Every structure is written in C-alpha cells, then in structure tokens.
Amino acid sequence: MTKAENDFECCPPFHPSQWDGKTFEWENKKFIKDTVFTLFYMPVNFGAVMKRSSVAIEKSNSKVLDGMWLAEHTSLWNMNLYTAVDREVTDSENIAMSGKYISRVYEGTFKEVGAWDKDFKHYVQESGNILLKTYQWYTTCPKCAKKYGKNYVVFVGQVQ
C-alpha cells in the first residue's frame, strides 16, 4: 500500500480486481438500512444519511466492512442505502442478505451510470444468470475519488 493510499481522507482505497467479474454467496451478511431522498435519482440528503449511519455504527462499536455502502434506487424519489457491518447496530434497521451475487466494476463519472446499468444487465444475462435486484456501490466520495484519481462504481446484482 502506498503512502497516499494509507493516508485516505474518509474512504479506504478501492481495489477493483477484488470485485470485478466476481460471483459470490452471502449467508446472512449483516447490513443496516436507511433511506435517502432523491430528486430524479440524484441523492439530496446522502451525506446526512451517511453521517447518521456512521454515528449509529460507532455508538454500537461496530465497523463498516469493506467500505461497502450499497445503494438501491427504488424510484425517482427514493434510494435505500445498505451499509455492510460486522454486527447488529442499535437504533438502526438491521437486515441480513443471503444468496448468490455477481459484481462488475466501472470507472468514470456518475453521468455514465445509466450506460453502466444497461451493460451490467447484459453482462448478467450473458453469464447465464437471472437478475433479481441491482445495487450500486459508490466506492468513494467525490473528494476521495479526486484524491485517488479514480471514481469506481461497483454494480452488485442478486441473481439466481
């Protein structure tokens, strides 16, 4: 790890090779769930929700695993945010995810998310799987993406 990676702002360095083109199983993987208000899919209170989640995680002596915050866009006005944690978090909606998942990493600006979504759906279909749900993992905040020089987004799909 380089000194620049070791001195991260708030987001840990992301290594795409660990997630690109991978298929994996989760068995009761722990998350906390919160909701973000969006305006035509653009998050409005994302920072406040992340802060609220971070405070609850810290208060519970829990940790965020892999820096993973999965976004699930449910409408033009709402996005569910799932934070991977190592244990139950008090004052939070705790959930567990189980099943088969597939992931693909993209790099670029957020305006490309629509094209990535189409590519991911095609990728899942070509892999012989049926897509049940799609999540986006925005691996770094804009400040850290600028610092690292890369803006990685991981599409994670629950498949059968």
The whole-angstrom separation of Cα 139 and Cα 150 is: 10
Report the DSSP pairing between strands 78-85 and 22-39.
antiparallel
DSSP, collapsed to helix, strand or coil, labels residue 73 as: strand
* Verdict on whether the full-model pTM lies above 0.75: yes
Domains of the chain: 3-9+19-159 (3.20.80.10)
DSSP state of 86: S
The whole-angstrom separation of Cα 144 and Cα 160 is: 34
Question: What pLDDT was estimated at residue 5?
Answer: 47
Is the pLDDT confidence value at 4 over 60? no
Task: Copy the structure tokens of residue 134.
Answer: 């799609």
Beta bridge partners of 38: 43
DSSP, collapsed to helix, strand or coil, labels residue 138 as: strand
The full DSSP string for 8-58 is -SSS----GGGTTTEEEEEEEEEEEEEEEEEETTEESSHHHHHHHHHHHHH
pLDDT in tens, 30-88: 999 999 999 988 889 998 999 999 999 999 999 999 999 999 999 999 999 999 999 99
The whole-angstrom separation of Cα 8 and Cα 77 is: 32
What is the number of other CB atoms lying within 10 angstroms of the CB of residue 128?
7
Report the DSSP pairing between strands 42-43 and 22-39.
antiparallel
Question: What pLDDT was estimated at residue 11?
Answer: 86
Is the pLDDT confidence value at 8 over 70? no
The mean per-residue pLDDT over the stretch 137-158 comes to 94
Residue 3: pLDDT band by 50, 70, 90 thresholds?
A: very low
Rg (CA), the chain: 15
pLDDT in tens, 79-134: 999 999 999 999 999 999 999 999 999 999 988 999 999 999 999 999 999 999 99
Amino acid 19 reads W
